[in-house]
Structure 1
Amino acid sequence: MSDHNADDVRNIALLGHAGAGKTSLTEALLAAAGAIPTMGSTDKGTTVCDQDPREQALGHSLDAAIVGFTVTSRQVNLIDTPGLPDLLGRSLAVLPAVETAALVINAQAGIEPMTARLMKRLDGRGLCRMIIVNQIDAPDLDLATLTDQIRDSFGPACLPINLPAEGGKRVIDCFFAPREDATDFSSVHEAHEQIVDQVVELDEALMETYLEQGQTLAPEQLHDPFEAALRDTHLIPICFVSAHTGAGIPELLEVIAELMPNPAEGNPPAFLKGAGERAEPVTVSPDPGRHAIAHVFKVLNDPYRGRLGIFRIHQGRITPTSALFVGDARKPFKATHLYRLQGKELIEVADGIPGDILAVSRVDEVHLDAVLHDSHDEDHFQLARTDYPTPLYGLAITPRRHGDEQKLTEALHKLEDEDPCFKVDHHAATNETVIRGLGEFHLKLLLERLADQFHVEVDTQPPRIPYRETITAPAEGHYRHKKQTGGAGQFGEVFLRVEPLARGAGFRFVDAVVGGAIPGNFIPSIEKGVRQVLDEGVVAGYPLQDVQVTVYDGKSHAVDSKEVAFITAARKAFIAAIEQARPAILEPIVHIRISAQEQAMGDLTGDLAGRRGRITGTETKSWGRVVIEGEVPLAELEGYESRLKSLTGGEGVYSIDFSHYEPVGATIQKQLIEAHHQQAPA
């Protein structure tokens, strides 16, 4: 049986910009809790979390790592996430496994681009939040100004729960038991009042006791309203620490153990039952006595341990004898061995309860975002979809050695299974395999794994830009397919109408046939024929989107009408309609965010303008850097990383997110259509 209960579990993800010190902070917490004898070093590659040789060489985390420790009977599961912009998907993937997201800020660097991006990504996820200011022992810091900047950027709910003292050599508690012998007790008292005022706002009875009766409130009286304030993001505590010296680490452990929510105190996970628009919210309870429900938030394909599925238990108990189903599968698997993770180390455990983060190995059916359960009452369960950034940076790849084609395909599928922001597409028209990620560095890491782990080397080149086709006017199309070859013939006739939809609406198929002109069993064949054209495009070979197709009439034959006849008729009628509907080619527009030194601002904005970009905002930071935001066509960003380094002396960084599609200019559209016709087979 488990040696803890769900009320004692604390699940926390450490998020933040690369270099904020998340891995060092994890080491300091592990050492202070007695989980490791001494702290490891990121410089020496001796930390629990960064065991991969690439991580050790770069000095940065490249994937999320899970560790655990016990403090005052609390079982704390800590997830150390990568802070590089290209690896954002790997950080977001872990959020469904935790109740609390802790943003780690480097006290010297302040609020860096990735930190702001992550805080924005937390909106709407229902996670409690805290902010940890690390490296408070660095020289020449103005932590009071940094606190003001945090509150200006992230809102007045951000309040210190302790304060640094003696140049960052220690911190003073402002919540549990403020000390009157503090060097500046007035600041401590003010911070204590601010955080208590914020907490009691959500409890009218407690507010009355506090304000009208003038009573001092004990921490135990504040516990429940404190949790309520965390759930509503009415409070985001700020903790000050130095992972290097250990200042503030005991206080942070106390905050985690006593104030951060357990699975019952955090906002419940957003599980749904059903599919598509019919999916309805369902309540999942952290009750070990109910049916087991767990969510797979990470998958690893290990050359020695096989496929490793890492999951968070949200309800019920899981043991090695549990028969678990993956989603809607009818055949269960036995979780023969259950493991707790300590970095790369797997520690076998006897069972798992709600809140636990465990792993199961050598189960091929397990996949990212799978829901594991032990009862068909939980069929069709899913966790609300995580909003990942769209992978836009692409490379066309071909195996360097002849005969490696199948090996490459299998390896790419395994990498795609692991990473929610890595996608593989095969374009039949150009016979091109394209891999897409969040940036050049992201794909570089994956190509290195292809070579090192899967022993497949590839050649790369820039891929085609993922343009799309659409229409700008309504039109109609008609085609009669009639074929007679001596025996049974083929006959199908289709009348349809096409209309443009709002940008981003996708595709809509409408059956408006009346009077049985086309038997109902052939309507799916018509939709199938239409969808074939959607994938292939009409004018330039790019997929069609934002189109409504309405089938309103047609004819059939009692003997000769078949599925294939209506597929063909629908294809031809759809193509005819598109050609008359003033087709247009759309290009992907991305939102770009650039951070660089202030003196490079003019060069950067001028360069973006030359790439058909639009500047939507600029912000000068107090530490001598500028953040530029804008929109730019993805087609204009080829080679941008090198250009940015050239303009900023290597100090600039950027990130992109898909924004929307918009029509290309007439000249570019003509060039794309001509290029497609030249490539088309005679």
Structure 2
Amino acid sequence: MKNIPIDNVRNFALMGHTGSGKTSLIDSILFKLGQVDRVGSPENGTSVADWTEEEKTHGMTIWAKPFDGVYTAASRKIRRLVMIDTPGFADFIGHKICAAEITDAALITIDAAAGIQVGTQRAWKSAEKRNLPRGIAITCLDKDDTSFDDMLMEIKERWGDERCIPMVLPTSDGKAVDILNTPFSEIPDELKERVKSIKDHLIELAAETDDALIEKYFNGEELSADEFSEGLRKSVHDAHLIPVFATSVKADMGVKETMDSISRLFPSPHDYPVSCAEGNEISADEDQPFSAQIWRCFNDPFVGQMTFIRIYSGVLKPGMEVYNPVKDQKEKISAILYVDGKKTTEAQEAKAGDIVALTKLKNTFLNDSLCAVGSSIKFEPIVFPSPVTAYAVEPKNKADADKIGQALHRATDEDPSIRLEHNTETHELVLWGMGDMHLEVTLEHIKNRSNVDMTHHTPKVAYKETITGSGEGHYKHKKQSGGRGQYGECYIRIRPKSEEEPKWFLNKIVGGAIPGGFIPACEKGFVEGLQNGPLVGSKVINVQVELYDGSYHDVDSSEVAFKIAGSKALHEAIEKSSPVLLEPIMTVKVVVPDQFMGDISGLLNTKRGRILGMGPEDGLQVINADVPQAEMFRFCSELRSLTSGQGSFEMDFARYEQVPAHLASKVISDAKAAKEE
């Protein structure tokens, strides 16, 4: 089944807003490919694509998953369609990014009843960012009050009248016409004039892809069938042509015709080489050295660790030894699996263009590369947005305490947009994700898979402290209790230091008041003292310490004594230097439709945010602001609520700023109360 020439392989990802019909379309395609004996449905839990417990529970796609099958197209050519179903919900964007990176095209689904939604635009942007060839499937045309032509007009207004061209048209009797493959004599009279006009435009688009063809076109000569077909494929590849397909899974309309058009128009892996990290182009040929990129890892309860790869060149067989140039490690290939949802088929080989899973790899994970031993082909790592929502997590019971670390690390290996942080300042284990739903599903998945139950709460803010004035400190550490004593004395001055100043410690000792051998011990004491400020016990930053005097004892002085003296002297100096509390400030980019600008600007103002600018971007409005991190922990859910799920945001750390006095006093009093408790 898999011995299909690479020229006849079509790899593409289905993308779109959540609920726009991606998964239903895949279920229908799998049925027509003969992979299943009935059309599954996400609504009733029978979907082959959304098969995990979490996906069934939440009624949405959560993980990107590959499916494939062999298909005899209308042209009688045998094609292999390799599809990746991707999540539409914004929280799971990491998997959509992975799919966009390792496929050759994108099919963007739009619910005819809902129109272009924010998830549609995100899908378009993901495909456009990588210059992916793309098509658009208008779905759910069986719903009341839907119109293919109205939806097509909206698409043309958004992405271009001349390039968004219908390839599958609905008929008045609920069927579909494939413009490229349906004989003109079989096209209903109601559509003949329209189809002729579209074909004339397609001939022009095909001719524009080649100087020789455009000359032929202007001379009034007809393009051959092969010239027309290849010209259209190149036009799709260059995004000069965006084919639009009319579909309805429930009415069984347009799905087969869409498959035929994809087979004819979408690129094959062989058509266009990819670039590796070194800048060289890799041609998708079987006779080239093996190379592949890892785009997903998953721990299956029955199979074990599964590592999903996209093969860009060469052939891979079980028993082969391959090289991971990222980790500088060799791996032995055990089993090669074709994966269709939860169904796996073992293969005797995989080749360029294939998307397969490998088992039992020891040192290879997401964003690594694999290549033939003796070569060092690496691919650029997939870049993911920074997570925006955090939970502080801890085991629900002591029995799970030993298992929580492994369970969380496994979750971060599997999900590229999950990040685990051991915050040494707040002493919390913090799980970062793209939203509350993302984190809730992650904890649910851990519970279902590893039987580790966790509780969570809003993380503490990692405050810092600094000084606004200058001060002096002195401490003599003297201890005598029989035998050798301890003695060390330090005099210091401190002042605020800018981040640009290179030196934080100045040794101004003269005349041997403190022997040179004890100066490093004093410095260690200062470092230790800066870790625990007087206000809330946070780290003290941007302070310059000057050690200018002291004394020692010939017998009793020691490194420990001077370390203690330095730390105590520093604490005294900080308390005299007007210490203040600092909080992390985040730079936030919020993207919302026009109608929500006022609500979101107001929300940011209530969160002590400073609006830096506003402006349009890709049909939406962008608000840039600086907001204290303490105000951002609930922002994701608040934004989704205010915008009905249409808003999104990115957030990155910018700097530390002083906490307003009235808020600082509460933070300080709460910290003291917690310490006493």
Alignment-derived partner of residue 255 in structure 1:
261
| Structure-to-structure mapping, 1:104-503, within 5 angstroms | 104-156=109-161, 158-167=163-172, 169-176=174-181, 179=184, 181=187, 182-210=189-217, 212-266=218-272, 268-269=274-275, 271-272=276-277, 280-329=278-327, 331-378=329-376, 381-465=377-461
| Structure-to-structure mapping, 1:31-70, within 5 angstroms | 31-70=31-70
Query: Which amino acid is the alignment partner of residue 53 of structure 2?
Result: P
Describe the superposition over 1:487-545 as per-residue Cα deviations: whole angstroms up to 9, x where unpaired: xxxxxxxxxx98757xxxxx999xxxxxxxxxxxxxxxxxx999999999999888999
SS in 2 for 1:290: coil
| Structure-to-structure mapping, 1:76-115, within 5 angstroms | 76-115=81-120
Q: Which whole-Å CA distance do the structure 1 matches of 2:156 and 2:527 have between them? A: 50
Supply the RMSD in Å over aligned alpha carbons: 5.3
Query: Which amino acid is the alignment partner of residue 656 of structure 1?
Result: F
Q: Which whole-Å CA distance do the structure 2 matches of 1:530 and 1:337 have between them? A: 57
Return the offset for 1:601: 7.5
Q: Could you tell me which runs of 5 or more consecutive residues in structure 1 were left unpaired when the two chains were aligned.
A: 273-279, 476-485, 487-496, 502-506, 510-527, 550-564
Q: Does the CA-based 8 Å contact 2:169-2:178 persist in structure 1?
A: no
Q: Does the CA-based 8 Å contact 1:471-1:499 persist in structure 2?
A: no
SS in 1 for 2:450: coil
User: What's the TM-score once normalised by structure 1's chain length?
Assistant: 0.77
Q: Could you tell me which runs of 5 or more consecutive residues in structure 2 were left unpaired when the two chains were aligned.
A: 72-76, 471-483, 485-495, 504-523, 545-561
SS in 2 for 1:406: coil
Describe the superposition over 1:176-195 as per-residue Cα deviations: whole angstroms up to 9, x where unpaired: 56737541333323322333
Cα separation, partners in 2 of 1:314 and 1:538, compared to 1, 3 Å: farther
Deviation larger for 345-354 or 71-80: 71-80
Q: Which whole-Å CA distance do the structure 1 matches of 2:597 and 2:314 have between them? A: 55
User: Which residue, 615, 621, 631 being the options, matches 1:636?
Assistant: 631
Cα separation, partners in 2 of 1:461 and 1:29, compared to 1, 3 Å: same
User: What's the TM-score once normalised by structure 2's chain length?
Assistant: 0.78
Describe the superposition over 1:258-309 as per-residue Cα deviations: whole angstroms up to 9, x where unpaired: 221111214524x21xxxxxxx322222121222111111111122211111
Q: Does the CA-based 8 Å contact 1:24-1:243 persist in structure 2?
A: yes
Return the offset for 1:323: 0.8
Return the offset for 1:76: 1.3
Return the offset for 1:339: 0.8
Query: Which amino acid is the alignment partner of residue 258 of structure 1?
Result: R
Describe the superposition over 1:385-422 as per-residue Cα deviations: whole angstroms up to 9, x where unpaired: 32312112111111121243221001101001000111
Q: Does the CA-based 8 Å contact 1:590-1:634 persist in structure 2?
A: no
Describe the superposition over 1:353-374 as per-residue Cα deviations: whole angstroms up to 9, x where unpaired: 1001111122232311121122
State percent identity of aligned pairs: 26
Return the offset for 1:429: 2.3
Return the offset for 1:591: 2.4
SS in 2 for 1:127: coil
Q: Does the CA-based 8 Å contact 2:296-2:414 persist in structure 1?
A: yes
Q: Which whole-Å CA distance do the structure 1 matches of 2:531 and 2:232 have between them? A: 52
Q: Which whole-Å CA distance do the structure 2 matches of 1:61 and 1:344 have between them? A: 14
Q: Which whole-Å CA distance do the structure 1 matches of 2:536 and 2:127 have between them? A: 39
Q: Which whole-Å CA distance do the structure 1 matches of 2:465 and 2:172 have between them? A: 60
SS in 2 for 1:183: helix
Return the offset for 1:84: 1.0
Deviation larger for 139-148 or 60-69: 139-148
| Structure-to-structure mapping, 1:511-530, within 5 angstroms | none
Deviation larger for 153-162 or 629-638: 629-638
Return the offset for 1:606: 3.9
Cα separation, partners in 2 of 1:70 and 1:619, compared to 1, 3 Å: same
Cα separation, partners in 2 of 1:231 and 1:643, compared to 1, 3 Å: closer
Cα separation, partners in 2 of 1:317 and 1:31, compared to 1, 3 Å: same
Deviation larger for 38-47 or 532-541: 532-541
Alignment-derived partner of residue 28 in structure 1:
28
Q: Which whole-Å CA distance do the structure 2 matches of 1:531 and 1:66 have between them? A: 52
Query: Which amino acid is the alignment partner of residue 188 of structure 1?
Result: V
Q: Which whole-Å CA distance do the structure 1 matches of 2:332 and 2:437 have between them? A: 38
Return the offset for 1:155: 3.8
Count of matched residue pairs:
634
Cα separation, partners in 2 of 1:302 and 1:2, compared to 1, 3 Å: closer
Describe the superposition over 1:603-649 as per-residue Cα deviations: whole angstroms up to 9, x where unpaired: 56544442345786699999xxx98866465533444566568768x
Deviation larger for 350-359 or 288-297: 288-297
Q: Which whole-Å CA distance do the structure 1 matches of 2:502 and 2:260 have between them? A: 55
Q: Does the CA-based 8 Å contact 1:299-1:368 persist in structure 2?
A: yes
Describe the superposition over 1:232-283 as per-residue Cα deviations: whole angstroms up to 9, x where unpaired: 32322222211222211222111221221111214524x21xxxxxxx3222
Q: Does the CA-based 8 Å contact 1:466-1:588 persist in structure 2?
A: no
Cα separation, partners in 2 of 1:438 and 1:530, compared to 1, 3 Å: farther
Return the offset for 1:315: 1.1
Deviation larger for 60-69 or 671-680: 671-680
Cα separation, partners in 2 of 1:35 and 1:402, compared to 1, 3 Å: closer
Q: Which whole-Å CA distance do the structure 2 matches of 1:167 and 1:187 have between them? A: 14
Q: Which whole-Å CA distance do the structure 1 matches of 2:52 and 2:233 have between them? A: 37
Deviation larger for 286-295 or 191-200: 191-200
Query: Which amino acid is the alignment partner of residue 402 of structure 2?
Result: Q
Q: Which whole-Å CA distance do the structure 2 matches of 1:375 and 1:620 have between them? A: 46
Describe the superposition over 1:565-617 as per-residue Cα deviations: whole angstroms up to 9, x where unpaired: 9xxx9xx99xx99x99x997541133234569x6x876565444423457866
Q: Which whole-Å CA distance do the structure 1 matches of 2:621 and 2:172 have between them? A: 30
Q: Which whole-Å CA distance do the structure 2 matches of 1:401 and 1:329 have between them? A: 37
Cα separation, partners in 2 of 1:173 and 1:669, compared to 1, 3 Å: farther
Query: Which amino acid is the alignment partner of residue 91 of structure 1?
Result: K
Cα separation, partners in 2 of 1:621 and 1:283, compared to 1, 3 Å: closer
Q: Which whole-Å CA distance do the structure 2 matches of 1:115 and 1:464 have between them? A: 35
User: Which residue, 651, 655, 658 being the options, matches 2:648?
Assistant: 655
Q: Which whole-Å CA distance do the structure 2 matches of 1:660 and 1:399 have between them? A: 28
Cα separation, partners in 2 of 1:220 and 1:305, compared to 1, 3 Å: same
Cα separation, partners in 2 of 1:454 and 1:385, compared to 1, 3 Å: same
Q: Does the CA-based 8 Å contact 1:168-1:247 persist in structure 2?
A: no
Q: Does the CA-based 8 Å contact 2:270-2:285 persist in structure 1?
A: no
SS in 2 for 1:35: coil
Q: Does the CA-based 8 Å contact 1:305-1:361 persist in structure 2?
A: yes
